[in-house]
Structure 1
């Protein structure tokens, strides 16, 4: 029976499903694996089920003696794994797309609404005893109906966000993507991120992480945005130059931001935390039991198929 390491505690249903097929070891810590742990996992296990911030970079794969033949990532994003280095060592990498789409799009909508309507700021005021009662000009925010949402990255999640914005709030949709998309809703593709930023009332970032998108969003994009516009990030933290974002929020270049991810996660700059016009969530994108169970089941199925000699359904190419 193949020996599998699961790098973090997962829902019990997922553990049970894995144990039905494999000799399973579950790492008890909720913190990311350390380099020594990752190297040991490659040497001692036939497969590893890692997740976000288990940084299997090129250095981890150096040397020989790798027993591991598959990294079945728990999550759709896999920029913490050097896929080329893994492949060079004969190690397959898989992920869990599909299961995360709707949940992540829902968090994007949560952030859009919270930022546009100043919900976090209002709750802090009320809880702090600063609310003096309703009046006509109290905490005026941005009404979303009929506004324009600009989505950077029109993959599964970007399209799910677009549908929610268009059909749920009557928003116009513009997007920036490497290629034209055949969509089932009206949407206009923009030539550049800056062109999109100039027209959108809400800019939503939904691109994969990795070297190709590192600091894709910086001062130039924020300066192109309208002063009343809001910026939302549910992708990866290092896609955004966090220093530039803080400067844009402080100076009023943009009206607000809603973030679920951070450049140096879990560290969040005190300057960002101090801003009333920033809505900050602790990476809640897929934080629902049924979603995490579905992600885990996909990861287990990738492992099962691989060790059965079949092609894993979600191999990273």
Structure 2
């Protein structure tokens, strides 16, 4: 079997074509958003929102409405509750996040345990990429396009908010509104990725691509290109690997993303643990008169 056959054969099955469209869409949208999440330091918030949508999905099943509606409502509910607890008490944001997301996630588990269902609702937790229907693919494409369009349309405002909220306020922007908009898009993006990898692994798709790109460049504009490119490539590779190795597709996609992050963490020229030494050693050999001090890698905002 040649390389072309390896690529084409899985696409002969409808479920693989649907899975590929879902994985690529989720990977691209999650990766773009992850750039801001990594810079602002909202990794835990991404974890919270992705877990908090579980009861919304179960309730949507109980009332025979699309899963996305229930998930989106509970995503916004989680964001609102975290903000309310943080702003109206002495509880800090990290504690508020932990309280809200663990409580809502537990509610979802309880609802699953008491809800008679012909559908295995456990797929919401662990993902069911190979079981995505054409109607769900269309829904994911629409939601993904909306989230991606909003992120790109207001990317300058979101970027300024991420780097310097005070300056954003000084030039007439509303940092609170921008933060709320990003959180809303986080909820929407979590719904997009839910079908691909499930509740538990959504946070990986929301964090790993941005973190990987952050180690490869000190320019935010390049991050917005590198992160989705890496994420989409990892999703395609992971999906094909799951097909030929007969493994869980969502888990394989995240595993490939984690492996790529590990390689970048070790070997990135400027920021890699080993790459910095290799790069500095090679540079000293080319220009011995430059001295022995290794060059410092540039950082975003530095």
Structure with greater contact order relative to length (CA < 8 Å, sep ≥ 6): 2
TM range (shorter): under 0.3
Greater share of helix residues, 1 or 2?
Answer: 2
Taking structure 1 as the reference length, what is the TM-score of the superposition? Answer: 0.27
Q: Give the structure-2-normalised TM-score.
A: 0.28
